[in-house]
Amino acid sequence: MATRILLVISVGLLASCDYLESYLADDKDASLENANLPYSDYQQVAVAPRNIRVAVEAAGEVEPVTTVEVKSKASGEILEMTVDTGDVVEAGTLLAQIDQRVLKNTLKQAEASLTVARAKLANSRSQLERINSLYVRKSVSKADWEKSTLDHATAQSEVVQREITVENAVIQLGDCDVNAPITGTIIERAVEQGTVISSPMGNSSGGTLLLKMADLSRVQIRMLVNEIDIGKMKPGVSATVNVAAYANRPFQGEVIKVEPQATTIQNVTMFPVLIDLENREGLLRPGMNADVEVMVANRNQVLAIPNAALRTQGDVYSGASVLGYTIEDVDRMLAASPKPRKTSAVRDNGSPASTAETDADVIKSDISDEERLNAIMTKMRTGKRPSEEDVAFMRKNRELMQKIAGSGAGRGRPGGGGPGASGGRPANGSRGPGGQRPKRVVSSVDQQFGGDYIVFVIRNGEAVAVHVRTGITDMDYSEVVAGLNQGEKVLILPSQSLVQANETWQNRASRMSPIPGLGGSRGRRG
């Protein structure tokens, strides 16, 4: 027990020293920018360009795209095996030879039976010709003529049966030579010379496996992806594969399939994902372990802020309380900061546009549309019929609003202030001030990564809450699509519960500390 108390006192000493140094440094370096801010544990981070990459990493195993099990249709002893594992063979190459003696005898017997059947057919044909001539002259009865006709048909049928028997015997004799069904590599050899094998033809056991062949000119990686990341996996997404055998040589491939059925491994739900790779040099071999990185999104030199600075509508009030703001203060700030309504800041030529350019385009477009809509409504109130262009414009806007109404809010889970955080007043969904849903176009990247958040930014020497729209995130930083400008500083604030827990611990440590001046209350700095 004494050791535990001593440990708590030591931690309290370190925390108090850090607190004192931070307080003195803040007093010394206090600038006009944060002169009006109440004291709190916050960090200022500038909005600056950086590269953001979103990738899903998983382990997998190399496997062939095409694998063939080679079996013999003939039964008997293996007289010769002409290939071994690792051999690359062309389609039609002799792989193994089975004892042909029994099948040769069967063929000879079938050929002899065919000769007899043909002789019988010739005899019955002569007999039928003689009976026909006699029957015409009324020298034989009709019954004798019918019997002769039947004997001739039976002889013809027997010849056909014997011909089929001979043909089958020839086929079975040819099956003693086992040839390669595809061009590929021998990856497994299951039997040796002298082994007596059974045919899978009519055998319930499936016959004896001789070899396994695979076409290794193209392989695939089967990797297991956590269900959290499976929504990012789409066919056609590029992937980089690394294997231990060639550590300095990555292989490029792409996602070809996401299996619909999940598998559970140690209570974790995983989905198999297949990565297609070319392997013309034969470097990748079945069974190799591979590390796969699937590149989901990549942004170079885009404005970004830490995820810890992002707040949702639900927890913005707890963050504001750290700064000494009331709910009414935050609501006024957000009302003065309209939500950014454009999901991607990109110029017509494909290069990123600045936040100011994006906001200007949105405002200009909104004003133009609103003025035109008001003009159409005024025309209709005066009894005038709208033109076809007016009707098309109104129909287009209605369809757009219906699409937006079903799109939902942005998703993502950045930092401590991302979606899903609780506390403060309940969130108002994705609606802006006054419950109005802003008009915006939802892109595929926005649906997967982007979201609407709130940040506290330093403007005119004060911390104000503003709406921002984010793009992709690497779980540490999020792309700023609209709402902030480069160089502005955002605040990373602790939650109210963390502040209260910290103050409770400080008070408890001060009561336990025998050193004068260690404890004490922490006031706010004006």
Tell me, rounded to whole angstroms, the distance of Cα 201 from its chain centroid.
42
CA angle 210, 211, 214 (to 5 degrees): 160
Angle between helices 355-381 and 388-405 (to 10 degrees): 130
**298, 327, 344 - which closes a domain:** 298
pLDDT in tens, 374-419: 677 676 666 677 777 777 777 666 655 554 444 333 333 333 444 3
CB 222 within 8 A of CB 270: no
> Does a structural domain hold residue 339?
yes
Domain, as residue range, for 245? 216-298
* C-alpha closest to that of 73 among 190, 196, 200, 203: 200
CB 98 within 8 A of CB 72: yes
CB 88 within 8 A of CB 280: no
> Does a structural domain hold residue 419?
yes
- Examine the domain organization and report whether 502 and 419 are in the same domain: yes
pLDDT at 405 (0 to 100):
43
Token pair 């039928």 is at which residue? 128
- Examine the domain organization and report whether 259 and 354 are in the same domain: no
3-state DSSP: the chain helix, strand, coil percent, rounded to 5?
35, 30, 35
Residue ranges with strand state E in 227-321: 238-243, 251-258, 263-265, 268-278, 289-306
CATH number of residue 116's parent domain: 1.10.287.470
Phi then psi dihedrals of residue 233, to 5 deg: -85, 120
> Does a structural domain hold residue 504?
yes
Q: CA–CA separation, 233 vs 225, rounded Å? A: 9
- Examine the domain organization and report whether 171 and 231 are in the same domain: no
Q: How many CB atoms lie within 10 A of CB 356?
A: 12
Q: What is the dihedral of CA 33, 35, 39, 45, to 10 degrees?
A: 10
Gyration radius of the chain's alpha carbons: 41
DSSP 24: H
pLDDT at 326 (0 to 100):
87
Q: CA–CA separation, 474 vs 414, rounded Å? A: 9
**175, 203, 224 - which closes a domain:** 175
Q: CA–CA separation, 38 vs 526, rounded Å? A: 6
Element holding 54 (H helix, E strand) = strand 48-71
Q: CA–CA separation, 421 vs 419, rounded Å? A: 6
Number of domains comprising the chain: 3
pLDDT at 108 (0 to 100):
92
> Does a structural domain hold residue 202?
no
- Examine the domain organization and report whether 431 and 504 are in the same domain: yes
CATH number of residue 227's parent domain: 2.40.30.170
- Examine the domain organization and report whether 330 and 404 are in the same domain: yes
Angle between helices 496-512 and 2-29 (to 10 degrees): 120
- The string over 231-246, giving b where at least 16 C-beta atoms fall within 10 Å of a residue's C-beta and e elsewhere, is ebbeeebebbbbbeee
> Does a structural domain hold residue 58?
no
CA atoms within a 13 Å half-sphere pointing along the CA-CB vector of 299 = 26
Q: CA–CA separation, 416 vs 475, rounded Å? A: 11
* Per-residue tens of pLDDT for the chain, all 526 residues: 433 333 333 334 333 344 334 433 444 343 334 434 443 557 888 999 999 888 888 899 999 988 999 998 888 899 999 999 989 999 999 999 999 898 899 999 999 999 999 999 999 999 888 888 888 888 888 888 888 899 999 999 999 999 999 999 999 898 899 999 999 899 999 999 999 988 887 677 788 999 999 988 899 999 999 888 888 888 888 899 999 999 889 999 999 999 999 989 888 899 999 999 998 888 999 999 999 998 888 888 999 999 888 888 878 887 788 788 888 888 888 888 877 764 444 433 334 444 444 444 444 444 456 567 667 767 666 667 777 777 777 766 665 555 444 433 333 333 344 433 333 333 333 333 333 333 333 334 344 566 889 999 998 888 888 999 988 888 788 899 888 999 999 988 875 555 555 566 566 655 554 444 434 444 333 3
* C-alpha closest to that of 74 among 4, 1, 170: 170
DSSP 41: S
Q: CA–CA separation, 218 vs 276, rounded Å? A: 7
- Examine the domain organization and report whether 382 and 501 are in the same domain: yes
> Does a structural domain hold residue 375?
yes
pLDDT at 186 (0 to 100):
92
- Examine the domain organization and report whether 220 and 128 are in the same domain: no
CB 311 within 8 A of CB 417: yes
pLDDT at 251 (0 to 100):
93
CB 236 within 8 A of CB 255: yes
- Examine the domain organization and report whether 317 and 286 are in the same domain: no
- Examine the domain organization and report whether 326 and 456 are in the same domain: yes
**298, 332, 361 - which closes a domain:** 298
CA angle 374, 378, 384 (to 5 degrees): 135
SS3 label, residue 110: helix
- The string over 260-283, giving b where at least 16 C-beta atoms fall within 10 Å of a residue's C-beta and e elsewhere, is eeeeeeeeeebbbbbbbbebeeee
- Examine the domain organization and report whether 428 and 490 are in the same domain: yes
- Examine the domain organization and report whether 224 and 339 are in the same domain: no
> Does a structural domain hold residue 423?
yes
* C-alpha closest to that of 106 among 74, 153, 152: 74
Q: Which amino acid is located at 399 in the chain?
A: E
The verdict on pTM exceeding 0.85 is no
> Does a structural domain hold residue 17?
no
* C-alpha closest to that of 310 among 420, 446, 232: 420
CB 469 within 8 A of CB 362: no
pLDDT at 511 (0 to 100):
57
CB 368 within 8 A of CB 495: no
- Examine the domain organization and report whether 224 and 271 are in the same domain: yes
pLDDT at 424 (0 to 100):
36
